[in-house]
Chain A
Amino acid sequence: GAGVSQSPSNKVTEKGKDVELRCDPISGHTALYWYRQSLGQGLEFLIYFQGNSAPDKSGLPSDRFSAERTGGSVSTLTIQRTQQEDSAVYLCASSLGGDPEAFFGQGTRLTVV
C-alpha cells in the first residue's frame, strides 16, 4: 500500500477483555515496530520484527501483551485482559532493511473503560 495502515483507528473496550490491533506495513518493508504513546508522552518501544521474527521483545510491558507477524507483512498486537493503564495510542512503523527512516501509521487509540 501507499503507507502504513493500522486498524481499528479507535477502540473502546471493557476492562478484562482482549483486543487485537492490526498493522499493515508498506509493501517490501522488512522491519516493523510497535510503540505505545500515552497522552503528551514519548514513544515507548514495545517490540520490533525483522521479517517474521522478533529479535527484541524486551519492551512488552507484561505477559498480557503479545505480537506476531506473518508472511513478513501484517502484524497483530494482542492485549489480553486489558487494564485501564493500557489506554494509549498504539503506533506501528515500518522501514526498509537498513534504512533509518521509519514510516508510521496513524495509530490505534485504545480506551479501556
Chain B
Amino acid sequence: GQSLEQPSEVTAVEGAIVQINCTYQTSGFYGLSWYQQHDGGAPTFLSYNALDGLEETGRFSSFLSRSDSYGYLLLQELQMKDSASYFCAVRGRGGYQKVTFGTGTKLQVIP
C-alpha cells in the first residue's frame, strides 16, 4: 500500500523559514503534492513535484528526491496567515489519479 510520514506539529517565528518533511512508501510513484488547510477550511493545492529537484512558487518551495522517497515544503518569510495544516500527498499505486494524503503537519507561526 501507500504510507506517508510527516511531523505532527511545527512552530516557527514570523519572518523565519520553516521546512516540513515528508517521507513516503508507495509503488508506482507518479508525483508528490502539497496542500494547505486552514482550520475549518478546505485543502488548497500548493505545489507538485514529479521529478527530482526544487520547485519554487513565491514564498513556497517544494523539493523531491525520488531515490530517497523524500520531499519537503519550504516556507520562507513566514507570515501569521501561514498558520495552517500542511499535507503531502502522493500519486501512486492505483493509477496516477489515486492521491493518498499524509496525516498532516500543523504549523503554528508565532510573533
Contact = CB atoms under 8 A, between A and B. Distances in A.
Interface of A: 31, 33, 35, 41-45, 48, 50, 55-56, 58, 91, 93, 95, 98, 100-107
Nearest to A6: B42
B106 to A, nearest CB: 8
Given A55-B95, A98-B96, A102-B99, A42 B42 contact: no
A43 B98 contact: no
B68 to A, nearest CB: 20
A48 B98 contact: yes
B87 A43 contact: yes
Given A42-B87, A55-B95, A100-B91, A35 B101 contact: yes
Interface in B32-83: 33, 41-45, 48, 50
Contact of A42 (B91, B96, B98, B103): B103
Contacts of B50: 100
B8 to A, nearest CB: 10
B43 A48 contact: no
Contact of B97 (A50, A106, A107): A50
14 contacts: A31-B97, A42-B87, A42-B103, A42-B104, A45-B98, A45-B99, A56-B98, A100-B48, A101-B33, A101-B48, A102-B33, A103-B45, A105-B42, A106-B42
B7 interface: no
A113 B42 CA distance: 24
Given A42-B104, A43-B104, A103-B45, 11 more contacts: A41-B104, A42-B101, A43-B87, A43-B101, A45-B98, A45-B99, A56-B98, A98-B97, A101-B45, A105-B42, A107-B42
B15 interface: no
B83 to A, nearest CB: 15
Nearest to A49: B97
